[in-house]
Amino acid sequence: MSVKIEVEVNGTRHEREVDPRLLLVHFLREELSLTGTNVGCETSLCGACTVKMDGLTVKSCTQLAVQADGASITTIEGLSPEGELHPLQQAFWDEHGLQCGYCTPGMILAAEGLLAVNPSPGESEIRESLKGNLCRCTGYHNIVKAIQSAAKGGA
């Protein structure tokens, strides 16, 4: 049995027949070849799979693709126009906010979600807001700096 869904991803509308149990992250990665969104834990705890759905940050590893029917989704690939960097992407680069880069797309999407509701967060607010996104490389120090720097630049 498959279910027809219609999803807008990064500004492009997609119509697909999907297995009802297909996870949103696998829909993005394997149906649409948008592999920037990563899977780290399959239990919505590490945040590597964070995307933006209808304005909210969600963990795409614990959403079904069918739940995204009719939704508008932004992944790391669609965060900025082709050839340009979003201020958060720029800030992660400038501040050495990544090492292996695996958590980075989710981390940037989570930070974007924070700045959307709180444009100038303090350090503790940033740290609290990143509870759902784990990084094993950076010790978070430069991730926090990058988000502060993007916020100052008016991201």
Partner 1 sequence: MAVLGSSIKRREDPALITGEGKYIDDLTLPGMTWAAIVRSPHAHARIKSIDTSVAKKTVGVVAIFTGKDIADSEHGGVVPVGWLLPDLKTPAHPILAVDKVRHVGDGVAVVLAEDRYTAHDAAEQVEIDYEPLEAAVDPKAATEEGAALVHEEAPNNIAFDWELGDKEKTNSGFAAAAHTVALDLRNNRILPFAIEPRGCLAHYDKNRGLTLRMTSQNPHVHRLLLSLASIALPEHKIRVIAPEVGGGFGSKIHLYPDEAIVSWCAIRTGRPVKWIATRSEGSTTDAHGRDHVTHAELAIDGDGKISGLRADTHAAMGAYLSTFAPAVPTYLHGTLLSGQYDIPAIYVHVTGTFTNTAPVDAVRGAGRPEATFIVERLMDLGARAMGLDPAEFRRRNFVSADAFPYQTQVALAYDSGNYEPALDKALEIAGYAQLRADQENRRKSPGEDGGKLLGVGLSSYIEACGIAPSAVVGSLGAQAGLYESAKVRVHPTGSITVYTGSSAHGQGHETTFAQIVAEKLGVDIDAVDVIHGDTQEVQFGMGTYGSRSAAVGGSAIVRSIEKIIAKGTTIAAHLLEAAEGDIEFEKGEFRVKGVPGKAQSWGDVCLMAYLAHNLPEGLEPGLEETSFYDPANFTYPFGTHVAIVEVDPETGEVEILRYIAVDDCGNQINPMIVEGQVHGGLAYGIGQALWEEAVYNQAGQLTTATLLDYAMPKAHQLPSYETASTVTPCPHNPLGVKGIGEAGTIASPPAIVNAVCDALSPFGVTHLDMPLTPERIWRAIHPGEDA
Interface residues with partner 1 (CB under 8 A) are: 19, 21-22, 26, 29, 34-43, 45-46, 48, 75-77, 80, 85, 89, 92-94, 96, 98-105, 108, 123-124, 126-128, 130-131, 133-144
Q: Provide φ and ψ at 15, rounded to 5°.
A: -120, 125
Residue (100 or 116) nearer to partner 1, CB: 100
Buried b (16+ CB within 10 A) or exposed e, 108-140: bbbbbbbbeeeeebeeeebeebbeebbbeebeb
Residue (70 or 135) nearer to partner 1, CB: 135
Residue (96 or 152) nearer to partner 1, CB: 96
Q: How far apart are CA 123 and CA 121, in angstroms?
A: 7
Residue (70 or 98) nearer to partner 1, CB: 98
Q: How far is the CB of 142 from partner 1 (least distance, A)?
A: 6
Token pair 């697909």: residue = 16
CA distances from 101 to 1, 37, 104 (A): 37, 11, 5
Q: How far is the CB of 74 from partner 1 (least distance, A)?
A: 11
Q: How far is the CB of 7 from partner 1 (least distance, A)?
A: 18
Quick one: which of 34, 124, 149, 94 has its CA closest to 52? Answer: 34
Residue (36 or 113) nearer to partner 1, CB: 36
Q: How far is the CB of 114 from partner 1 (least distance, A)?
A: 11
